[in-house]
């Protein structure tokens, strides 16, 4: 749709309306309508401030503030007719306000610009996403704590290079993810605290000659203070980049966990059983139960990190202050936020529902020479050997066991003695996986007592 007349918001100097393609590339209303509530909250705060500062009359401010609520209810009720010719949410709302209340609507834009308006709206929107991410992360952490507590002493293999390394506990493995998501939580909170400054009143770029009160609007919108430099205020998108950065790291963590769940739920591993609620079947292979949610979570990093890169490239090299390039900030952030929240919720659901197969975990924990390090440590501790020698002797016993097709605890004492004649029957105590994990009592280690202490610490933190 092309208007033949010039734009009614800014078309004073224009004789003709935009080409249809100009309108198509210029308009953002198809996506920035998601910021309608923020736009109206910002405008209501601005109007109240203009009246308090005697810049507009109280009656005009009242009409504006009431009219904006009418517009909001139309938007929420789905009856609002968006216009591409009016470009974006800011001008769509203002134009409709004019239709609803008439002349006072024209006074709303006093002492402000769409540049500080869009920065304010977007900040309010992104701030809500920091809060949503915080809630999603807290719920996921709670679910992980539940798993960790239930299985604090369930033994399983710990891996390096995805090769059996040393026995660990299920609770310990779950708590590793609590640490990761805990850092994600911290990143979300740090960034939210840093971004909470109000751009409103920076106007187009230089501030305004009207005697506005920026503290008043900042406070009304829940900001800690007004931003201190008007050029920066209208051209800063760090808050969106920090959100995407924190979201990308979080999505990376989610993808690692999702990958483990995919592996663990396979017939070859059988470490976990995912619930029917978070699995799907195959239309051709009746036996299949597929971990689709985990696979999709594993993939979400692609679009979330993609958004991070895309916005960084948009912002790179932009001269101060506002440039229209910055309109390209929103879709990326909207998509990344939607998908992060969905991935967090799906992961929380999967973790709550899944059951660890204790027997499979234990069987796997005892295979693959997982207590070889315990044997080497015993040789050091009891026989006083240098660790390098102990390592070599243990290696020869592993080779012997491998040749005999058995595991370390299955070797006889005589066979053990062929590697070092000082070895006694006591060695078999440390070759059991339970003893192995119980012995790893160093702070942050895998011993059940350490795991329980970390669960208690996190419960204390979360209150
Ligand atoms: N729709 C625009 C955006 O998202 C609003 C700001 C427009 N400002 C301007 N000077 N054209 O960035």
The model's pTM = 0.93
Active site residues: 161, 282
* The ligand 1 atom nearest the CA atom of 32: 4
Q: Please list the residues that pair with 226 across neighbouring strands.
A: 198
Residue 34 Cα to ligand 1 middle (Å)? 15
Prior bond of 321 cis (ω within 30°): yes
Looking at 196-320, list the stretches that DSSP marks H as alpha helix, in order from N- to C-terminal side. 214-220, 230-235, 238-264, 292-315
Q: Give Rg (Cα) of the chain.
A: 31
Mutate to test the pocket of ligand 1, among 85, 114, 119 (most ligand atoms within 8 A of CB): 114
Q: How far, in Å, CA of 364 to CA of 158, rounded?
A: 10
> What Cα–Cα distance (Å) separates residue 257 from each residue in 184, 310, 338, 344, 446?
14, 25, 20, 11, 18
- As a whole number of angstroms, the distance between CA 437 and CA 361 comes to 13
Residue by residue, pLDDT tens for the chain (463 residues) are 444 577 877 788 888 888 999 999 999 999 999 999 999 999 999 999 999 999 999 999 999 999 999 999 999 999 999 999 999 999 999 999 999 999 999 999 999 999 999 999 999 999 999 999 999 999 999 999 999 999 999 999 999 999 999 999 999 999 999 999 999 999 999 999 999 999 999 999 999 999 999 999 999 999 999 999 999 999 999 999 999 999 999 999 999 999 999 999 999 999 999 998 988 887 878 787 899 999 999 999 999 999 999 999 999 999 999 999 999 999 999 999 999 999 999 999 999 999 999 999 999 998 888 889 989 999 999 999 999 999 999 999 999 999 999 999 999 999 999 999 999 999 998 888 999 999 999 999 999 999 999 999 999 999 8
Q: Which of 236, 178, 230 is nearest to 204 (CA)?
A: 230
**Most informative mutation of 22, 83, 327 for ligand 1 (most atoms within 8 A of CB):** 327
Specify burial of residue 282 (Cβ count, 10 A radius: 0-12, 13-18, 19+). exposed
Q: Which residues approach ligand 1 with their CB closer than 6 A?
A: 28, 32, 88, 114-115, 118, 322, 324, 326-327
And the tokens for 36? 């309608």
Residues in the chain: 463
336-361 burial, b at 16+ Cβ within 10 Å, e below that, comes to: bbebbbebbebbbbbbbebebbeebb
HSE-CB for 398 with a 13 A CA cutoff: 16
Which of 198, 180, 164 has the alpha carbon at shortest distance from 251? 180
Q: Tell me the CA–centroid distance for residue 115 and ligand 1, in Å.
A: 6
């Amino acid at each position: 749709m092309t208007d033949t007349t010039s734009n009614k918001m800014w078309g004073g100097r224009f004789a003709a309306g935009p080409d249809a393609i100009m309108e198509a590339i210029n308009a953002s209303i198809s996506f920035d309508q998601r910021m309608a509530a923020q736009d109206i909250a910002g405008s209501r705060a601005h109007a109240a401030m203009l009246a308090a500062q005697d810049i507009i009359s109280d009656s005009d401010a009242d009409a504006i503030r009431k009219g904006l609520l009418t517009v909001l209810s139309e938007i929420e009720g789905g009856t609002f007719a968006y216009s591409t010719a009016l470009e974006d949410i800011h001008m769509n709302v203002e134009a409709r306000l004019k239709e609803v209340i008439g002349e006072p609507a024209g006074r709303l834009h006093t002492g402000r610009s769409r540049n500080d308006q869009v920065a304010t709206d977007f900040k309010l929107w992104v701030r809500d996403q920091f809060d949503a991410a915080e809630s999603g992360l807290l719920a996921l952490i709670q679910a992980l704590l539940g798993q960790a507590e239930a299985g604090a002493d369930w033994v399983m293999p710990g891996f390096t290079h995805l090769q059996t390394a040393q026995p660990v506990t299920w609770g310990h493995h779950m708590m590793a993810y609590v640490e990761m998501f805990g850092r994600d939580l911290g990143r979300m909170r740090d960034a939210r605290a840093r971004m909470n400054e109000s751009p409103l009143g920076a106007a187009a770029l230089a501030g305004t000659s009207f005697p506005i009160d920026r503290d008043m609007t900042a406070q009304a919108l829940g900001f800690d203070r007004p931003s201190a430099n008007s050029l920066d205020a209208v051209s800063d998108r760090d808050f969106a980049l920090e959100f995407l950065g924190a979201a990308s790291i979080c999505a990376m963590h989610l993808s690692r966990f999702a990958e483990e769940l995919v592996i663990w739920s396979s017939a070859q591993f059988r470490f976990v059983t995912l619930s029917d609620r978070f699995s799907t079947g195959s239309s051709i292979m009746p036996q299949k139960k597929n971990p689709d949610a985990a696979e999709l979570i594993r993939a979400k990093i692609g679009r979330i990190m993609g958004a991070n890169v895309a916005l960084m490239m948009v912002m790179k090299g932009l001269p101060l202050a506002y440039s229209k390039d910055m309109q390209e900030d929103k879709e990326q952030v909207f998509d990344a936020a939607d998908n992060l929240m969905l991935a967090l919720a799906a992961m929380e659901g999967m973790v709550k529902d899944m059951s660890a197969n204790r027997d499979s975990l234990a069987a796997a924990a005892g295979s693959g020479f997982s207590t070889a390090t315990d044997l080497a440590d015993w040789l050091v501790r009891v026989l006083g050997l240098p660790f390098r020698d102990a390592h070599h002797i243990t290696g020869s016993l592993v080779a012997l066991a491998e040749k005999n097709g058995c595991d370390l605890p299955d070797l006889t004492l005589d066979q053990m003695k062929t590697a070092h004649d000082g070895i006694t029957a006591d060695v078999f105590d440390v070759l059991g996986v339970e003893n192995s994990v119980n012995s790893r009592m160093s702070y942050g280690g895998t011993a059940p007592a350490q795991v329980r202490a970390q669960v208690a610490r996190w419960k204390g933190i979360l209150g």
